[in-house]
Amino acid sequence: MTKYVFVTGGVVSSLGKGIASASLAAILESRGLKVTLIKLDPYINVDPGTMSPFQHGEVFVTDDGAETDLDLGHYERFITTRMKKSNNFTTGQIYMSVLEKERRGDYLGKTVQVIPHITNEMQDFIRRGAGQGTPDAVDVAIVEIGGTVGDIESLPFLEAARQMSLKAGPNNVAFVHLTYVPWIAAAGELKTKPTQHTVQKLREIGIQPDALICRADRRIPDDEREKISLFTNVPEYGVISMWDVNTIYKVPRVLHEQGLDQLICTKLQLNTKSADLKRWDTLVHEVENPAEQVTIAMCGKYTDLSDSYKSLNEALRHAGIHNHAGVKIEYVDSETLTPQTVGGLAKFDAILVPGGFGKRGVEGKILAAQYAREHKLPYLGICLGMQVATIEYARHMAGLENANSTEFDPETPHPVIALIDEWQDADGSIQKRDANSDLGGTMRLGAQSSDVKDGTLARDIYGPVVTERHRHRYEANEHYLDRLQQAGLVISAITQREKLTEMVELPREVHPWFVGVQFHPEFKSTPWGGHPLFTAFIKAALNHKHQA
């Protein structure tokens, strides 16, 4: 039978429930258990796909095309289990499912209520995410409940968790509560009162935590842990101190040394081997002892919130580890890039233009691509980053003045980037690839495969086939590809099914390393395997630094 660990949060948000959940999962996996993680988001949006990165951070995409919370990226980077659509659901999805059932008459005319209909639906979604009752069932499912205890939005999720623990029995469900212990500088001491109150609130709901992970900017002394234990009814060995560390990859070791995994295994009556965290120790050593350092300019428009590029930041750091180098990322607001200021990019070892939506800051990104091309700086363009590189090349190398994307200029005379159903022949007739296709005007999501051209940089990196995850609407217009290739742009990968452009690059005799990709490779990077594209990019940055 699948066992469940519910992870809740208290006092304030952004304490790191995702990292704590992923770290606990990693320790349990190192004990030989099959583990998965599920994220429950209390907002009413169906998914985060339409939410601003400033509010929600990045949208993580799974192989099966689900747009999910960024915490699923942490999950995939910490454990071997790949996430799916069923690993993340929202209040919006729950209500949508219940209302569809009500319209079909599934409830036989009953009054549909939060209890039991909404909470039952939540439990069904949780079991589905764990694969319970199927060949894909896991030993332990760690369920992270978004929000903070006391929020009205997350109450139904907490009630569903309480009901699951009641039905499953005391040895099949455990509760871990993440809380905050602030240091009050004026008083010169840590304050445990917020933790006492949040646990009291949780117990009022009917949930007694088995363990507390107490976040603070320093280690929590034993006398404070004893005090927390006394006022929360949690055994002292269950009060875990989680202080700030210089890398998230230290968290599994910190939690293990305080016995959190043993506490969970004892509670859930799991007989396992001892935890083996040697590879985590090796990873931390690599992170803390780089042989050298490179500095990457990330030219985007969400630079005020690093969570907007969470997977991308981690992928660059993973690539640094595999090159024995530290990677310093400096965010450059693309709105500030002008012909007069773009020269400031000369101080960097490489330029990366990430994905994004909307017109704001695009001309600055085009300038960044032009600067990298003309000054032979290593360049990696991801999604929109590939598109702006294509626009730039069309304008300045292929003689297509005012070339653009129809996303930014619907009246452009040369739509080198457009929705599929906007592609036009010379006579102005609309060209649709497939009358039954919904690709035009909608997102292309999830993992898709492409054939890679011989003799290219892409072939050296990926081999004959590249399979990566996507999240975009606009494509390189196939009616301009011949013109661009005649001007010297290399189309190095094309999708197997729709024959859409997936990778572009410059010949190596023209530029040492210039690559644009339509997909999002950052979603598949892990600290263990890194990612071949990012590893090659950081290697190119190191080569540029050595030659400078």
> Could you give the residue numbers annotated as active site?
383, 520, 522
| Buried b / exposed e along 130-142 (16+ C-beta atoms within 10 A) | bbbeeeeebbbbb
C-alpha 108 chain-centroid distance: 41
Cα separations (Å) of 232 from 208, 263, 369?
9, 17, 56
Residue 195 known to bind ligand: yes
Residue 515 known to bind ligand: no
The answer to whether 6 and 159 have CB atoms below 8 angstroms apart is no
CA distance 482 to 414: 14
Residue pointed to by tokens 């995410």: 129
Residues with Cβ within 8 Å of 162's Cβ and at least 6 positions away in sequence, in order, are 205, 206, 207
User: Could you give the 3-state DSSP secondary structure of residue 363?
Assistant: helix
Residue 407 known to bind ligand: yes
Residue 193 known to bind ligand: yes
CA distance 197 to 515: 53
**Angle, in degrees to the nearest 10, between helices 155-168 and 193-205:** 60
CA distance 379 to 368: 9
The answer to whether 160 and 123 have CB atoms below 8 angstroms apart is yes
Residue 356 known to bind ligand: yes
Residue 191 known to bind ligand: yes
Residue 71 known to bind ligand: yes
Residue 144 known to bind ligand: yes
For 14-66, the DSSP string reads -S-HHHHHHHHHHHHHHTT--EEEEEEE-SSSSSGGGS-HHHH-PPEE-TT--
CA distance 434 to 522: 30
For 210-267, the DSSP string reads SEEEEEESSPPPHHHHHHHHHHHT--GGGEEEEE--SSGGGHHHHHHHTTHHHHHHHH
**Angle, in degrees to the nearest 10, between helices 193-205 and 222-232:** 30
Residue 228 known to bind ligand: no
The answer to whether 156 and 54 have CB atoms below 8 angstroms apart is no
Residue 18 known to bind ligand: yes
Residue 385 known to bind ligand: yes
Residue 386 known to bind ligand: yes
Residue 16 known to bind ligand: yes
Residue 409 known to bind ligand: no
CA distance 144 to 9: 9
Residue 397 known to bind ligand: no
Residue 509 known to bind ligand: no
Write the burial class of residue 112 (CB in 10 Å: 0-12 exposed, 13-18 middle, 19+ buried): middle
C-alpha 296 chain-centroid distance: 20
CA distance 129 to 126: 5
Given the DSSP bridges, would you call strands 173-180 and 475-476 parallel, antiparallel or unpaired? Answer: unpaired
Residue 273 known to bind ligand: no
Residue 37 known to bind ligand: no
Residue 227 known to bind ligand: yes
Under DSSP, the state recorded for 118 is: I
Residue 463 known to bind ligand: no
CA distance 463 to 449: 12
Residue 86 known to bind ligand: no
Annotated binding residues for ATP, written as ranges, equal 14-19, 71, 245
Annotated binding residues, written as ranges, equal 13-19, 71, 144, 151-153, 191-196, 227, 245, 356, 384-387, 407, 473
Annotated binding residues for L-glutamine, written as ranges, equal 356, 384-387, 407, 473
Annotated binding residues for Mg(2+), written as ranges, equal 71, 144
Annotated binding residues for CTP, written as ranges, equal 13, 151-153, 191-196, 227
Annotated binding residues for UTP, written as ranges, equal 13, 191-196, 227
